[in-house]
Amino acid sequence: MKIAVVGPGALGCLIAASLKGRTKEEIWLLDEFPERAKKIARDGIKVDGASGTGVTRIDVTANARDIGQCDLVILCVKSYSTEEACKAIKGIVSEKTGILTLQNGIGNIQILNDHFCPDRIMAGVTNHGSTLIGAGHVKHAGKGETTIGRADGRVLGAIRDVAGVLTRAGFETRVSKDIDSVIWSKALINVGINALTAVTRLRNGALIEHEECRQVLRGAVQEAVKVVKRKRVKLSYDDPIQKVESVCRATASNVSSMLQDVLNKQRTEIDFINGAIIRHARALNIATPVNEVLTNLVKTIESSYEKEARG
């Protein structure tokens, strides 16, 4: 199988290095920045942590033409770059290419559907924890399950093959018939945790140690639950508040991905997390004051990095 991983962030690097190191497939990494692509091609991808420590040499390019048509394209770019990534991968996607999004948040499948035939689109969620230390250098904080599925719920040979390849690469993967449930179930966790860590600059565990903060977390999740209920999406857990709080405890020392973005003065995925809840809620006439405040605060932080006061 010829596989292109798109986006050399923490997850993209980890998956590309794992696929290259542990399977016999032809693996490429597609980067949008030529200089960074050259650096990663020269130095390889360095992974420290749960899957061991090592450097994996890999084919990296910023020019999709170098890759040619693939059997599988795995999208790992930030959600706000999905639209751009769709344009960039046009040349490596044929009518037989599978496209798998493992991105965060709600809305990526819809963007992919606008660009490619929905029949070839797969989506998934991975619970592997990873942090980018520098270009091509990732810390693999912990292993977790990966779940993929087709939007139409069909379990065909092709998706089983993809799950098989990922599992061989060390990403234990199962196939779900209800990928919407998997994506919304993960998104609700991010709705409760990510923006609140970005605003307070607390680690995940601290969010529930402060009663006022815990109330905000609960408010954001409760609004999202109303949306999920009206959309008739079935969550993979019974008690969403309890679930989000248990993730806070289980990942207590994590600096969430959104807090990492804010600390690195980067754009965040707020539009695809709390922002997506607001959009879906608006269409259903559901009020989302907590998610609106969180979204507005994170957007203010994003647009004012240069103006931050220093002590």
* Residues forming the site for ligand PAF (CB under 6 A): 189-190, 193-194, 204, 247, 251, 254, 256-257
Q: Identify which of residues 204 and 295 has a Cβ nearer to ligand PAF in the complex.
A: 204
d(CA 305, CA 307): 5
Known active-site residue 186: yes
Cβ distance to ligand PAF smaller for residue 142 or 164: 142
Closest approach, Cβ 32 to ligand PAF, in A, equals 22
Q: For ligand PAF, which is the closer residue by CB, 173 or 185?
A: 185
**Which residues have CB under 8 Å from 206's CB, separation 6+?**
200, 213, 252
On whether the CB atoms of residues 101 and 124 are closer than 8 A, the answer is yes
DSSP string, 10-64: HHHHHHHHHHHHHS-SEEEEE-S-HHHHHHHHHH-EEEEETT--EEE--EEES-G
Helix (H, G, I), strand (E, B) or coil at 116: coil
Select 78 or 120, whichever has its Cβ closest to ligand PAF: 78
Nearest to 284 by CA among 293, 272, 276: 276
Return the closest-CA partner of residue 257 out of 204, 206, 213, 305: 204
Q: What's the CA gap between 104 and 79, in Å, rounded?
A: 7
Judged by CB, which is closer to ligand PAF: 116, or 272? 272
Q: Which is nearer to ligand PAF, 205 or 219 (CB)?
A: 205
In the complex, least distance from residue 204 CB atom to ligand PAF, rounded to whole angstroms = 5
Distance (Å, whole) CA 197 – CA 26: 39
Pairing of strands 137-142, 129-134: antiparallel
Catalytic residue among 20, 46, 78, 186: 186
Task: Give the shortest CB-306-to-ligand PAF separation in angstroms.
Answer: 25
Length of the chain: 311
171-174 long-range contacts, CB within 8 A, separation 24+: 171/15, 171/18, 171/126, 171/128, 171/146, 172/143, 172/145, 172/146, 173/124, 173/145, 173/146, 173/147, 173/148, 174/145, 174/146, 174/147, 174/148
Nearest approach, Cβ of residue 207 and ligand PAF (Å) = 10
Three-state SS at 138: strand
Contact 70, 33 (CB under 8 A): no
CB of residue 222 vs ligand PAF: minimum separation in angstroms? Answer: 18
CB of 25 to ligand PAF, least distance (A): 27
Which positions are annotated as active-site residues?
A: 186
